Amino acid sequence: MHVAQDNSDILKLLMELGLALGIGILIGLERQLSQRNDRHGAGGIRTFGLVALFGFLVTLPAETGAAWLEVAGLFSLTALLSIRHLFHIKEGRKGITTEVSLLITFVLGMLVQLEYTVFAVAVALLMSFLLSIKPRIQIVVEQITEKELFAVFKFLVAGALILPLLPNRTIDPWSVLNPRNIWTIVVLVLSLSFLGYLLMKFWSAAHGILLTGFLGGLVSSTVVAWLFSNKSKQDPQNSQTYALATLLAISVMFLRIFVLAEIINARVGIQLLLPMALLCATGALTAYVLLKRHTPASVPTPKLTALGNPFNMGDAVKFAALFCLILVLIEVSNARFGTTGVYAVAALSGLASVDAIVVSIASMADHSIQIVTALNAVMIATLSNNLVKIIIGMMRGSPQYRRTLSFGVGLMFVVAAAWGLGVGW
């Protein structure tokens, strides 16, 4: 019995030893490949593998009280690497990436023996990834301007510093204005704006705009309409593409509505499946047909000055202010007119956010309101929300943006009306 236990311990030890060696080989392989043209490279598979084993082995005696070996091992390795780095400096070579990588590999070997295996493997994978993308990072860094760097700092201040400090409670007489929620809207607008800027800069104008519209639709198609309507004036040569991206965002919104309703109330969700699918298909098909006719690949990528400010704080604050105004109007109207109908509330709520009314209506269906009423309310809120997008486009967009968006959303209204008449909603 005792021998079996010893064999089990030895097998476990060998497996951990192999894992430590594997971590060293993984990191060493990346270093060797990246320094294949450097005859004086600081190390490759063998060096990193041995350093990982070194870290593993010096940790073994710690279980018997000889923890000083860990400190001595780390100190010795640091001294050797420091001496080597001094020689590199004399030779005119810069950088300490390999030396730091060796120290981390030593620590990872120690962590494996201490049974932090999952963490050690995760760090090794992350480390190998960071080391391997050095050429790509250099390309990106060379293209970053001071304006863009300053914009990132502004975003970090807005999202990481200001947002957590704001109170998470309502501060108005109507109990609808939550400072943290409002500022979250600002951060959302800034995020989508910067995402579109990056995609257009590092990819292409047309593809970047369209992908931003699609991804933005997963969060807020209204924000996409607000941003792209203004962009269509700043960058008129891509007005059509901005409008098509807005149609894509609206199409994705219909799928989002179905998913929300299905999660909250499966009966409402299944009833909404067909109309939401039809509206989504209408928007996506319209965008596809116009995209093929438009051939945006022939449109040149605009200059960076045409892309505008990566973070237009003023535009984001204006959108948040408009959102607050709509919230207050909804609450005041509801309080003044009472329970004149779920449809009126749905129409008003759709002016601000379609998600909130969908969640509310779906949760009330079969309890406070009938399923048919819930379905009608969701459709009204959806169409009301799209009406807001048309108004935004008319007020802020270029002529071509207005025409394309109105045509696409108009088709959606026709499909919705035909569906309503067909099923007798």
Q: How far is CA 129 from CA 20, 99, 120, 254, in A?
A: 18, 17, 14, 37
Burial of 57 (C-beta count, 10 Å sphere; 0-12/13-18/19+) = middle
Whether 320 shows a pLDDT value over 50: the answer reads: yes
Per-residue pLDDT for 62 more than 90? no
- Can you state the percent helix, strand and coil of the chain, rounding each to 5? 85, 0, 15
Averaged pLDDT, 295-311: 50
Contact between 121 and 109 under an 8 Å Cβ cutoff? The reply is no
Whole-number pLDDT of residue 64? 61
* For residue 240, pLDDT beyond 60: yes
Partners of 365 in beta bridges: 369
* DSSP per-residue letters across 140-183: HHHH--HHHHHHHHHHHIIIIIIHHHS-SS--STTS---HHHHH
Query: Could you give the CA distance from residue 231 to residue 212 in angstroms, rounded to a whole number?
Result: 13
Residue 301 confidence (pLDDT): 45
Quote the pTM value: 0.59
Q: What percent of the chain has pLDDT over 70?
A: 81
41 is written with which tokens? 């490279």
- The residues, any chain, with a CB within 8 Å of residue 193's CB and separated by 6 or more, are 227, 310, 311, 312, 315, 316
- What average pLDDT does range 306-322 have in this prediction? 69
Grouping H, G, I as helix, E, B as strand and the rest as coil, residue 115 is: coil
The conformation of residue 237, written as its DSSP 8-state character, comes to: G
The 8-class DSSP code of residue 302 comes to: P
- The residues pairing with 369 across neighbouring beta strands, listed in sequence order, are 365
Residue 401 has pLDDT above 50, yes or no: yes
DSSP state of 369: B
pLDDT band for 294, please (50, 70, 90 cuts).
low
Structure tokens at 46: 């063998």
CA distance 132 to 281: 41
More confident residue, 368 or 149: 149
* 4 pLDDT above the threshold of 50: no
pLDDT at 368: 57
**pLDDT at residue 53 above 90?**
yes
Distance CA 116, CA 340 (A): 62
- CB-CB contact of 221 with 249 (8 Å): yes
- In this structure, are residues 18 and 38 in contact, taking their beta carbons and an 8 Å threshold? no
pLDDT at position 304:
43
pLDDT at 42: 57
Is 70 exceeded by the pLDDT of residue 374?
yes
Mean pLDDT of 85-109: 85
Strand, helix or coil at 365? strand
What mean pLDDT comes out for the span 246-252?
A: 92
Q: Which of 317, 327, 321, 391 is nearest to 353 (CA)?
A: 327
| Structure confidence at residue 318 as a pLDDT band (50, 70, 90) | confident
Other CB atoms within 10 Å distance of the CB of residue 215: 18
Confidence of residue 54 (pLDDT cuts 50, 70, 90): very high
Q: Which amino acid is at 209?
A: I
pLDDT, average across residues 19-28: 93
Question: Which tokens go with 232?
Answer: 């269509």
Tell me which H or E stretch contains 375.
helix 371-396
> pLDDT confidence of 124, banded at 50, 70, 90?
very high
| Mean pLDDT across the chain | 81
Percentage of the chain with pLDDT > 90?
25
Residue 73 has pLDDT above 50, yes or no: yes
Residue 204 pLDDT greater than 60, yes or no: no
**Distance spanning both ends of the chain, measured CA to CA:** 76
Q: What's the mean pLDDT in 347-366?
A: 72
d(CA 386, CA 410): 9
Q: Which amino acid is at 380?
A: I
pLDDT tens-digit profile of 129-166? Answer: 988 888 777 777 777 778 778 888 888 898 889 999 99
Most confident of 162-171, 198-207, 370-379: 162-171
Give, as one character, the DSSP assignment of residue 64.
G
Least confident of 113-127, 218-232, 363-377: 363-377
Q: From CA 262, how far away is CA 270, in angstroms rounded?
A: 7
Residue 397 region by backbone torsions, left for phi larger than 0, else alpha for psi between -120 and 50, else beta: beta
Please tell me the predicted confidence (pLDDT) of residue 176.
72
